[in-house]
Amino acid sequence: KSESIFPLGEIGLLMRSVSEKIENLEKEWRYEFFDSDLQSLGTQSLKLHKKFNIRDSYTLDHINHSLFFNRRTGAYTLLSLDAKNNQRDLVKWELGRKHVVKDMKILGEYAFMHVQARRKAYVYVREWRGKQARFVPIQIKGIPQKRLKIAQLKLIEERKEVFVYIQARIKIKPAET
């Protein structure tokens, strides 16, 4: 098994593991909550097609969000586990094979994802408990979109803001003498 551990503050921690055994073309992802004394509080499991792999994980307060991706079909699954309320939310969608999520941040009810598609960068904003979603293209006047790249998504929780740092590849003309 492959395992990862996510701290959940005063609540304890979450351990994620994936079974190497594949049954009916599915892998089992197992999440176990532990309190601060390392006593098990319960387990949740999720079975996904064997082609799904973990793309990103993000923990905010007592909620862990795991993003799974099937490169062959372009399908995504976002699993959100609330350690405090033992609640599980599962959202599935498809972006297409050419769209790849590079980074993810969660703020309130929304997931902000850096998506790369055909040499163009976007911010994909999606309700992590619902179906509303939209692409926000990255544009700077005078610079073609294919020359722009998202360097980083940064979350400032206290101010409830998400910053997008952009890198632009520009051509500098030599100075005339």
Give per-residue pLDDT as tens, 82-124.
888 888 988 888 888 888 888 889 888 888 999 988 888 899 9
Alpha-carbon gap, residue 104 to 57, rounded angstroms: 8
What residues contact 67, with CB distance under 8 A and at least 6 apart?
54, 55, 56, 57, 58, 76, 77, 78, 101, 104, 113
- CA nearest neighbour of 65 among 95, 117, 103, 36: 103
Residue 159 φ/ψ, nearest 5 degrees? -95, -5
Residue 110 φ/ψ, nearest 5 degrees? -120, 145
pLDDT in tens, 105-116: 988 888 899 998
Going by pLDDT thresholds of 50, 70 and 90, the confidence category of residue 177 is low
Alpha-carbon gap, residue 50 to 23, rounded angstroms: 9
Ranking 3-12, 24-33, 68-77, 168-177 by mean pLDDT, the lowest is 168-177
Q: Looking at the predicted structure, is the pLDDT value of residue 1 above 60? A: no
Rounded to two decimals, the pTM is: 0.80
Q: Looking at the predicted structure, is the pLDDT value of residue 125 above 90? A: yes
Q: Looking at the predicted structure, is the pLDDT value of residue 38 above 60? A: yes
Structure tokens that stand for 160 in this block: 């409830």
